Amino acid sequence: MPDNTQRFTGRAEDYDRYRQRYPTQEVLARMRDWCGLTSRSVVADIGAGTGMLAEVFLAHGNRVLAVEPNPDMREQMRPSVERRLGRPVPQLEIIDATAEATTLPDASVDLVAAGRAFHWFDKERSLAEFRRILKPGGWIALIAADRDRESKDPASRPQIDAYEEMMSIHGTDYARIRSSYRTYDRREPLFDGDFHHDEIPGFRRLDWENFRGHAMSLSISPQPGHPQYERFAEALKSYFESYAGDGILTMPTVCWITAGRFRSQ
């Protein structure tokens, strides 16, 4: 099996620039309501990437321990977060470690948060690690925002299905990893205690540059120099021209927000 911690090497800049951001106010409202989050809560952001989820909690005033194993992502994180928040973020600590071995002390955080990276984790080992680093009564928040593959809108289905087909044909290993994405709407079995879940539908309006940039940030997208790159690039352009109107592609999205905890906590 490939090393998932290296899947985004060389893609961090595109990832940070083109990926969908998390809805800050909606996430924080649910964390306060469900988990009792305050500005004094210590948050561990696991698989922090370029800091998109950390940014949400930093805006709330939290201390954030951002665990990220990929050096390209870590290098991008602080300047990206500080640029978007418009200020230094001394309460952000960036840690070179993995979800399965965070290096954080026992019972040291109030909330463990994981974003789009969660489906790459070894679930059994990472959940055991989360249990170890959480304070008694602590919560786990699993949050992801991405294109909506399951939309029931009949007007959107042809576009969604065509995108899935394109990625299945041209993506480097999309067929193997596609099922792991369902993690985000099947999370209740991960917990044996309190559980909350909500989904926020939306859409993104993308011009060609932003559509292409989003596609190239995906770990399954062949990069320049790859044998499949030229055909993938042609397929992207053809897809955009087929489904965009007036130079803008409207992509259905969803943000999954889940919070749970273990009964023994």
Per-residue pLDDT tens over the stretch 241-257: 999 999 999 999 999 99
Residue in this structure with the two tokens 């259905």, named with its chain if needed: 252
User: Which range (162-166, 179-183, 240-244, 258-262) has the least confidence?
Assistant: 179-183
**The one-letter amino acid at 251:** M
Model confidence at 181: pLDDT above 80:
no
Mean predicted lDDT score pLDDT of the chain: 91
- Specify burial of residue 175 (Cβ count, 10 A radius: 0-12, 13-18, 19+): exposed
Parse the chain into domains and list their residue ranges: 4-260
Q: Is 185 helix (H, G, I), strand (E, B) or coil?
A: helix
Q: What are the start-end ranges of the H helices in the chain?
A: 12-18, 24-35, 52-59, 71-85, 123-133, 157-170, 174-177, 208-217, 229-243
pTM: 0.91
Whether domain 4-260 has CATH 3.50.50.60: the reply is no
- What is the Cα–Cα distance from 103 to 98, expressed in whole angstroms? 8
